[in-house]
Amino acid sequence: MNNQPATNMIRSREGELQGALPDLQIRDLGLLSDRRTSALVTPLGEIVWYCPARFDAPSLFARLLDEQRGGSWRIDLPHSVPAGRRYLSDSAILESRLQVSDDELVITDFLPFGEGIPRGLCRVFSRAPRPYQLLLHAAPDYARRSAVLMREGNAVRVDACVWLYASHPLQLEGQAVVLCVPQDEPAWAFLSDQRLEHVDWELVSRWKAHTLEAWEGVTTHATYHGPYEEAVRASLRALRMLTHHDSGGTIAAPPPAFPKCRAGRSTGITGTCGCGTQRWWSAP
């Protein structure tokens, strides 16, 4: 994982990207999944890829493919730098940390997983070390058209396919949806696949706990204890996240994450596992 500081982007009211853009490296991206679709997150907490509802659905965020027009969901927290991240237990709940001077912001991202809870993309933020903005710029269908944004009660409907709910008032600024978070306040935001009557902190916390429990249920089907335990667990997590829940089909098969062998000639393998693409090694 690359934790080098990256320049934050500045977005105009029309939602266009201005200034220098951090280079996107596949190896730096964290993977989120509910085993029906997935999202990719940068070390700065920017969602740069997301296809609502299905792995093979048209994308809503695709800055991974087009830095200028692809759309993303990012955090505008000046002078912040990546300070590490981890998955909670063997789940697909990703916790990222942004360092700001001598304080930090903790971001917990997950796709709610399990029976009886709504599907979508959920983001939970710890106490704000300073005021910041969360900016959602949708670019539907691989950025081939502009999103239609419309207020519906306490939510913003994004392109007639998802609904954005949040802990603080949402503002429409051109093609962007903006959430302003005051200093010292926690926050949450949920991009839902369906319209909901009500969302609050209690529900979001319940969805997180339910998701963690559901992933624990999946984990019991394949466990490992032995050499290179953390590497194997990371590989198993990636494989679970890339397996379609209903059919059991594998969307993509990452190679095993074994470190370089000490004895004998080794062969390098590159693939995706855990928080991104890494170089792994196997004996010939």
Please name every residue paired with 82 in a beta bridge, in sequence order, or none if there are none: 98
The domains found in the chain, sorted by start residue, are 10-218 (2.70.98), 227-284 (no CATH)
Contact 2, 28 (CB under 8 A): yes
pTM of the model: 0.82
Q: Does pLDDT of 77 surpass 70?
A: yes
DSSP 186-239: -EEEEEESS--S---HHHHHHHHHHHHHHHHHHHTTS---STTHHHHHHHHHHH
Look at residues 139, 111, 119, 122 and name the one whose alpha carbon lies nearest to residue 193: 119
> Per residue in 255-279, pLDDT tens?
655 555 554 443 333 333 333 333 3
Averaging pLDDT over each range in 75-79, 235-239, 270-274, which range is the top one? 75-79
Residue bearing tokens 């466990």? 223
The mean pLDDT value for 47-61 works out to 96
Confidence band, pLDDT 50/70/90 cuts, at residue 246: confident
The Cα 87–Cα 96 span in angstroms is 9
| pLDDT single digits (tens) 145-156 | 999 999 999 999
Q: How far is CA 107 from the centre of its chain?
A: 10
